[in-house]
Amino acid sequence: MCLLVFAWHAHPDYPLIVAGNRDEFYTRRTRPAAWWGQAVSLLAGQDEEAGGTWFGITRRGRLATLTNVRAPSERNPHAPSRGALVVAALQTPERVDRWLERHAHRTAAFNGFNMLAGDVMATAGDLPGSLHYYSNRHDAPPRTLEPGVYGLSNAFLDTPWPKVNRAVARFACSIASRVRIDDLLDLMADRTLARDPELPQTGVPLDWERALSAIQIRANGYGTRTTTALTVRADGLATFYERTFDTVDTQRWDDRHFEFMIDTEARPARLKTRDPN
């Protein structure tokens, strides 16, 4: 993902509400969201070039997603795929906080990323739900998030970029009145550009800083490929909605809608994926 807004235990009826945009080159091959594997325990889209994903949730309520850290001068074209980390976080039988702590020192070889991962609902053994943030470009250990409304783009958590501030403000107002998937999708479709004095300086040319300052990006050969909205109700009902934009005509899209009850008693399924480490 390249922009995420989310509410963690900030709504009386929904422990988790998420809306996010994945921005990518139009030529990169991608599969839309689907259940993976014979055990159909992991719901995610798939990057066909590297095999990983950018956002996923399991039937037992394990969530994982990441955004890239925009630092073009530090980019290593030979680094391993960051999407493999999302799959690994989703499939590990460990608690997420322990998995992050154990793997944090091994992530320096990856290009910069921010990861969110956690178990949305209380699990077997009465372990409470938890959500954690970690960046391999931030000199800090993994952080357990307190209840609140957050925004994350291609800098660190809650860095006040114009698009993040705009998205968080609209998101907070929207969910305060009602929680509707259509409202989340509309929020993430905002193409308003920031004014030049507000733009961050991330090492890309000014015309790209302008284009990337929108919530939904439309640039030459690059832009928002998918919008994902996820709500998890207090009773465990998960609603996952993905809008995939056509790469030739971006005014056209396909929608996928999934609903399921989170099974907190389920044992984690082992997917046959490559260890990212």
Residue 188 sits at φ, ψ, to 5 deg, of: -80, 0
Answer for the pair 96, 103: CB distance below 8 angstroms, yes or no.
no
Which pLDDT belongs to residue 126?
56
pLDDT tens profile 148-164: 999 999 999 999 999 99
Which pLDDT belongs to residue 266?
59
Structure tokens at 40: 């159909």
Structure tokens at 201: 């300086």
Which residue carries 């996010």 as its tokens? 20
Answer for the pair 227, 21: CB distance below 8 angstroms, yes or no.
yes
Q: What is the mean pLDDT of residues 77-84?
A: 95
pLDDT tens profile 91-118: 999 999 999 999 998 899 999 999 999 9
Sign of the torsion formed by the C-alpha atoms of 130, 82, 193 and 32: negative
Question: Would you say residue 27 lies in a domain?
Answer: yes
Cβ count near 23 (within 10 Å): 23
Query: In this structure, what is the dihedral angle of CA atoms 183, 185, 186, 189, given to the nearest 10 degrees?
Result: 160
Question: Would you say residue 277 lies in a domain?
Answer: no
pLDDT tens profile 229-254: 999 999 999 999 999 999 999 999 99
Percent of the chain with pLDDT over 70: 93
Which pLDDT belongs to residue 274?
47
User: Residue 58 belongs to a domain with what CATH number?
Assistant: 3.60.60.10
- The beta strands (E) that lie in the chain are given as 3-8, 16-25, 30-36, 42-47, 55-58, 62-68, 113-119, 130-135, 143-144, 148-152, 218-219, 222-232, 237-245, 253-261
Which candidate, 93, 104, 83, places its Cα nearest to that of 58? 93
For strands 42-47 and 55-58, give the pairing.
Answer: antiparallel
Question: Would you say residue 158 lies in a domain?
Answer: yes
Question: Would you say residue 207 lies in a domain?
Answer: yes
Question: Would you say residue 199 lies in a domain?
Answer: yes
pLDDT tens profile 121-151: 986 555 679 999 999 998 899 999 999 999 9
Structure tokens at 252: 């056209």
Tally: H helices and E strands in the chain: 5, 14
- Tell me the residue type at 247: T
Which pLDDT belongs to residue 1?
84
pLDDT tens profile 194-221: 999 999 999 999 999 999 999 999 999 9
Question: Would you say residue 274 lies in a domain?
Answer: no
Evaluate if residue 269 carries a pLDDT over 70.
Answer: no
Answer for the pair 242, 254: CB distance below 8 angstroms, yes or no.
no
Residue 27 CA to residue 241 CA, distance in Å, equals 23
For strands 143-144 and 148-152, give the pairing.
Answer: unpaired
User: pTM for the whole thing?
Assistant: 0.93
Question: In terms of residue numbers, what domain contains 162?
Answer: 3-261
Structure tokens at 256: 């996928």
Half-sphere exposure of 194 (CA within 13 A, CB side): 25
Number of domain units in the chain:
1
Q: Whole-number mean pLDDT of the chain?
A: 92
Beta bridge partners of 116: 65, 133
CA distances from 1 to 28, 31, 270 (A): 14, 15, 24
pLDDT tens profile 2-43: 999 999 999 999 999 999 999 999 999 999 999 997 656 899
Question: Would you say residue 216 lies in a domain?
Answer: yes
